[in-house]
Chain A
């Protein structure tokens, strides 16, 4: 029985259920979690839906009454709305590609034996422990600032003009920061998967004459498919609502270059305490997230299931 890594079972269970399995405990054990989650989700969800259909502003009592879908149309017809959707998807997609791609390669690297590898591994994992706000502040002011940041200093010392990252490449800069934060997570999960790869299989492949690249592509990668699926699913959930990094660095600008859906909701609704608008934005975000999840499950995850 070869070892397997994490296996997101998206399809109906493929494990053979023994004839004499008791079905009794199933419901009783799941019930508390589900019930708790139900209450936790239903109540705010219902309230959010309710508020989204109202005109309700915390500091402007002249706005009241039933709004119908007015809050929704207001948000959807915002000139920055579609740009924010595209930015959200670009941000999520880019960070996924970077973290999963680099993460796989680095996981294989850190699986190798070299002196001090545990220390090097720990260093590589550390960005995940830093608060996003702090990470963004450090990157923006101490590293990327063209005048008093480290990158600017290094550029000047070799005679180059420092790059104004957040003006010239705002989205790329934000993507870089978020990728730095999430790469350790990908490395960690993928590393544990790589380490569970059966060494015998690898030895056998090598003896058959497979070079390192072929071994990587035909043995390691398939084995990592399920771990990659886990990383993608979890990261997507968090990346869809990236907010702190954008708020600290670019405030959604210049223009709407780095405005994603979460920031748009903040800037249009929450800043003015428009609870109705913010709730409508929340519902739209859920719809977007479910569409993305559906797409992921259909295309990526399906191929990850054995």
Chain B
């Protein structure tokens, strides 16, 4: 890059400014988690730090159980969605039929149903199937909720893969399964990974079904948060502590995997 020194300084300043600005509310939340409740409701950044809020949060709820549930449900839901979506996206991208477009659009439209409207029917179905308050029930719902998006994103990643490679593979006698696993997967791994990450985040933060379909066994971190928000009395320090603990796993995971993704995300760099 032959940008001038001034240009580079400006770009650096801008980049950092944007990053810090966007991160500021989270930083403030982190700060608040170390305040007492009384100090939490003042806008002052100067205060005497304390771990009392974290202690109380840990003492009140079994954080690890909630976190484990979140991990299992989000990972499980994502894996299930990917398992169903990869064959479908493969077929739509490489063996398209006149119905492909309609199917894609129909899949997307299934996401338009607002959950509030369909709470009671789903609750009744889950009750009859004995899936209430189970991790498997919730991860099935999540997989189904995210399936349209996952299929669609995989489909667009697959469309980028040049046909010649698969043609070559086919002429070498690769089966469909072989094509999918040995040729396609390595080529599109970054795309699959970023789709998986998106699905993971959406599952992690989903706060409607996770609250209504679980009670004690399968409750994930969203229920953990709901036990700290808006009680009768001051709660901001505790809520900040609780949500720092709820955000931390997914944030760390996202940061780590992001490095992986971006390093490899030059798709189409297949020549």
Q: Which residues of A are at the interface with B, using a C-beta cutoff of 8 A?
A: 1-13, 15-18, 21-23, 25-30, 32-34, 36-37, 40-41, 43-45, 47-48, 51, 58, 106, 109-110, 112-135, 137-139, 141-143, 148-150, 152-154, 180, 183-185, 188, 191-192, 195-196, 226, 230, 233-234, 237, 240-241, 243-244, 261-262, 265-266, 270, 275, 278-279, 281-283, 285-286, 289-290, 293, 297
Q: Which of B19, B41, B147, B222 is in CB contact (< 8 Å) with A121?
A: B19
Q: Which of B22, B43, B103, B205 is in CB contact (< 8 Å) with A123?
A: B22
Given contacts A9-B101, A195-B266, A297-B105, contact A43 B125 (CB under 8 A): yes
Q: Indicate if the CB atoms of B108 and A6 lie closer than 8 Å.
A: no
Q: Indicate if the CB atoms of A25 and B113 lie closer than 8 Å.
A: no
Q: Indicate if the CB atoms of B156 and A7 lie closer than 8 Å.
A: yes
Q: A37-B144, A112-B11 are in contact. List 11 more A-B contacts (CB 8 A).
A: A30-B87, A36-B144, A44-B118, A126-B23, A126-B26, A130-B243, A134-B225, A226-B156, A237-B108, A240-B112, A278-B117
B184 at the interface (CB under 8 A from A): no
Q: Which residues of B are at the interface with A, using a C-beta cutoff of 8 A?
A: 1, 3, 8, 11-12, 14-16, 18-20, 22-23, 25-26, 28-29, 32, 40-44, 84-85, 87-88, 90-92, 94-98, 100-101, 103-105, 107-122, 124-125, 144, 147-149, 151-153, 155-157, 159-160, 162-163, 167, 176, 194, 198, 201, 204-205, 207, 222, 225-226, 229-230, 236, 239-240, 243, 246-247, 250-251, 254-255, 258-259, 261-262, 265-269, 271
Question: Chain A residues with Cβ under 8 A from B98's Cβ?
Answer: 12
Question: Chain B residues with Cβ under 8 A from A289's Cβ?
Answer: 109, 112
| Alpha-carbon gap, A154 to B3, bound state (A) | 36
Question: Chain A residues with Cβ under 8 A from B167's Cβ?
Answer: 18
Chain B CB within 10 A, most for which of A47, A109, A115, A120: A120
Given contacts A142-B28, A196-B268, A278-B116, contact A183 B22 (CB under 8 A): yes
Q: Indicate if the CB atoms of A1 and B117 lie closer than 8 Å.
A: no
| Alpha-carbon gap, A270 to B208, bound state (A) | 13
Question: Can you list 6 A-B pairs with a CB-CB distance of less than 8 A?
Answer: A32-B87, A33-B151, A114-B8, A243-B116, A282-B113, A285-B113
Least Cβ–Cβ distance between A301 and chain B, in angstroms: 10
Q: Indicate if the CB atoms of A233 and B207 lie closer than 8 Å.
A: no
| Alpha-carbon gap, A116 to B167, bound state (A) | 42
| Alpha-carbon gap, A127 to B103, bound state (A) | 33
Given contacts A3-B267, A30-B103, contact A44 B122 (CB under 8 A): yes
Q: Indicate if the CB atoms of A18 and B108 lie closer than 8 Å.
A: no
Chain A's closest residue to B259 (CB) is A118
Given contacts A110-B15, A226-B156, contact A126 B251 (CB under 8 A): yes
Question: Chain A residues with Cβ under 8 A from B144's Cβ?
Answer: 36-37, 40
Given contacts A7-B160, A129-B250, contact A17 B96 (CB under 8 A): yes
Question: Chain A residues with Cβ under 8 A from B16's Cβ?
Answer: 114, 116, 120
Given contacts A7-B160, A23-B95, A297-B105, contact A133 B23 (CB under 8 A): no
Least Cβ–Cβ distance between B145 and chain A, in angstroms: 9
Q: Indicate if the CB atoms of B22 and A15 lie closer than 8 Å.
A: no
| Alpha-carbon gap, A244 to B210, bound state (A) | 14
Q: Indicate if the CB atoms of B229 and A133 lie closer than 8 Å.
A: yes
Q: Indicate if the CB atoms of A29 and B91 lie closer than 8 Å.
A: yes
Q: Indicate if the CB atoms of B207 and A244 lie closer than 8 Å.
A: yes
Q: Indicate if the CB atoms of A36 and B147 lie closer than 8 Å.
A: yes
| Alpha-carbon gap, A37 to B151, bound state (A) | 11
Question: Chain B residues with Cβ under 8 A from A44's Cβ?
Answer: 113, 118, 121-122, 125
Question: Chain A residues with Cβ under 8 A from B22's Cβ?
Answer: 123-124, 126-127, 180, 183-184
Least Cβ–Cβ distance between B50 and chain A, in angstroms: 17
| Alpha-carbon gap, A34 to B147, bound state (A) | 10
| Alpha-carbon gap, A29 to B85, bound state (A) | 9
| Alpha-carbon gap, A188 to B201, bound state (A) | 13
The 10 A-B residue pairs with the shortest CB-CB distance, nearest first, are: A282-B117, A3-B268, A153-B43, A289-B112, A120-B19, A47-B121, A123-B19, A33-B88, A26-B95, A29-B87
Q: Indicate if the CB atoms of A124 and B229 lie closer than 8 Å.
A: no
Q: Indicate if the CB atoms of B28 and A32 lie closer than 8 Å.
A: no
Question: Chain A residues with Cβ under 8 A from B94's Cβ?
Answer: 21
| Alpha-carbon gap, A10 to B100, bound state (A) | 9
Question: Chain B residues with Cβ under 8 A from A185's Cβ?
Answer: 198
Question: Chain A residues with Cβ under 8 A from B15's Cβ?
Answer: 109-110, 112, 114, 117, 120-121
Q: Indicate if the CB atoms of A195 and B8 lie closer than 8 Å.
A: no
Question: Chain A residues with Cβ under 8 A from B11's Cβ?
Answer: 109, 112, 114
Least Cβ–Cβ distance between B26 and chain A, in angstroms: 6
Q: Indicate if the CB atoms of A15 and B117 lie closer than 8 Å.
A: no
Q: Indicate if the CB atoms of B159 and A241 lie closer than 8 Å.
A: no
Least Cβ–Cβ distance between A254 and chain B, in angstroms: 20
Q: Indicate if the CB atoms of A131 and B222 lie closer than 8 Å.
A: yes
